[in-house]
Structure 1
Amino acid sequence: MAAIIFDLDGTLIDAAPDICATANTVLAEEGAAPISLEETKSFIGNGARVFVERMSKLRNLPEAGFEARHRRFQQVYVEAHDHTVIYEGAVAALDDLRAAGHRLGLCTNKPLLPTQSVLAHFDLGGYFDHVIAGDSLSQRKPDPAPLQAVVAALGVSPVIYVGDSMTDALTAKSAGVPFLLYTEGYNHGRLAEMERAATFSHHRDMVAQIQSILACEA
């Protein structure tokens, strides 16, 4: 038995279209031009507050309205899953890992309410024994505390963290946990910089890579 912990956006699901739509709803309400899907992807990874900061800076929105803008983004974001998709093969991989007796966790910078909403929408919540979201603690990734909290809650070892971004790679490194990198997420063109134990580009290959890492850890 091992603890397999996942990032969410860009690792198990592609939520960028809904995040983009949420951003553009908020921007339109302030009379600002929309942002593109590629700009959206480049802003993802450090939590909703940082996303809104980057969006606001790009559109030169006044700092005085930031807190209200952030609250409005959070309000719209909670139910934003109409255009989100689960990556092909991800559910089958989760099924295989559960069947093998592993404990699964989730460690994401996505706020808790939209995390719970999207997990419920796709009936994914039952896969995870513990969830830490971007506002569950005072720290967010790449601080190791959120990942360490999931590790402690799962209570088994060895541990693997599966993610797609530099934020995830740095989190795993700081926590002393092997990192499995999904190369098709929101990596911002920084794949070569990320320290990892292994990579996969399709979720049908994820379980085999996890087994390989666990064999090395044994």
Structure 2
Amino acid sequence: MIVIFDLDGTLIDSAPDIHKTANEVLADEGLGALDLPTVRSFIGHGVPHLVGRLLGHHGISDEARAARMIAGFGARYEAAVGLTTIYAGAAGALEALKAQGHVLGLCTNKPVAPARAVMRHFGILNHFTAIIGGDSAPTRKPDPEPLRMAVAACGGGPALFVGDSEVDAATATAAGVPLIVHTEGYRKTPAEDFPHVAVFSDFAALPGIIAARAEALEAVG
């Protein structure tokens, strides 16, 4: 079974570092800082969207300014790991899934370089066969193409997508890949409202959930 993971809000809680970086690029522009819940609500669609929301919160629409802020964000983003945490049990779950013989991939709207940097920081990079980031394709999630690319890069075949947000739910639906929802991430609506095959809050439960899905698929096949 191929298991594709989202990153922010699914494997890691990176909102504090994104919040810090966002306020740094706002300060560069002489704009006021925003609180963590506000910035957290902007996460999920990639850096250009985030910067657009930061400017929009200040009532600004300026493409040149946005481009400058995107560049400033990118310059800081790869090193922005000091406040990020990995969800409890996530590393162990990845090890267990690999031991079960599953092929793991990543599909995130975070650019590839900072995604790899934070995964390396937490010692989980080598678990993944493929990493598709927000700069890997012409489109980002919720367009299904990045998820399809991740599945193909893992060899193709039956797959599951593990994510936490409305963006992930829309991506999974568009790609025709069953979704498992991590309930402790950045979603804004109840997990029960997402089209999903399972939900979990504790990573200790995830290997069993995926093993059951794989067994059910083999029984049908």
Matched, 1:7 2:6: yes
User: Are the counterparts in 2 of residues 166 and 190 from structure 1 also a CA contact under 8 Å?
Assistant: no
For 1:66 and 1:8, locate their aligned partners in 2 and report how far apart those are by CA, in whole Å: 24
Quote the Cα distance in structure 1 between the aligned partners of 2:190 and 2:54. Answer: 21
**1:9-35 CA deviation, whole Å, 9 max, x = no partner?**
000000000000000111112221111
Q: Which runs of 5+ in 2 are unaligned?
A: none
**Corresponding residue for 1:82?**
82
> Is 2:91 the partner of 1:98?
no
In 1, Cα distance between equivalents of 2:215 and 2:181: 17
Change (3 A) 1:66 1:158: same
Question: TM-score, normalised to structure 1's length?
Answer: 0.95
Structure 1 distance, partners of 2:101, 2:73, is 38
Shift of 1:188: 1.5
Q: 1:32 to 1:87 in 2, by over 3 A?
A: same
- Name the SS of the counterpart of 1:174 in structure 2: helix
Q: Deviations over 1:108-147 (max 9, x none)?
A: 0001121121112112210100110001110111111111
Matches within 5 A, 1:119-198: 119-198=119-198
1:62 is displaced (CA, Å) by 5.0
Residue identity opposite 1:107 in structure 2: C
Residue-by-residue CA offset, 1:156-205 (whole Å, 9 max, x unaligned): 43210000001111111111111000011000234243110110011111
CA contact (8 A) 2:191 2:199 kept: no
- Higher mean displacement: 15-24 or 146-155: 146-155
Contact 1:98 1:127 in 2 (8 A): yes
Matched residues, number: 217
CA distance in 1 between counterparts of 2:206 and 2:58 reads 38
Matched residues in 1 for 2:82 and 2:59: separation? Answer: 29
Aligned residue for 1:210?
A: 210
Q: Quick one: which amino acid aligns to residue 113 of structure 1?
A: A
* 1:113 and 2:130 aligned: no
2:32 corresponds to which residue?
33
Tell me the alpha carbon deviations over residues 66-101 of structure 1, each in whole angstroms, 9 at most, x when there is no partner.
Answer: 111111111111210000000000000000001111
Q: Normalising by structure 2, what TM-score?
A: 0.94
In structure 2, C-alpha distance between the alignment counterparts of 1:108 and 1:198, rounded to whole Å: 20
Q: Secondary structure at the match of 1:60?
A: coil
| Contact 2:5 2:161 (C-alpha < 8 Å) held by counterparts | yes
Q: Which amino acid aligns with 2:105?
A: G
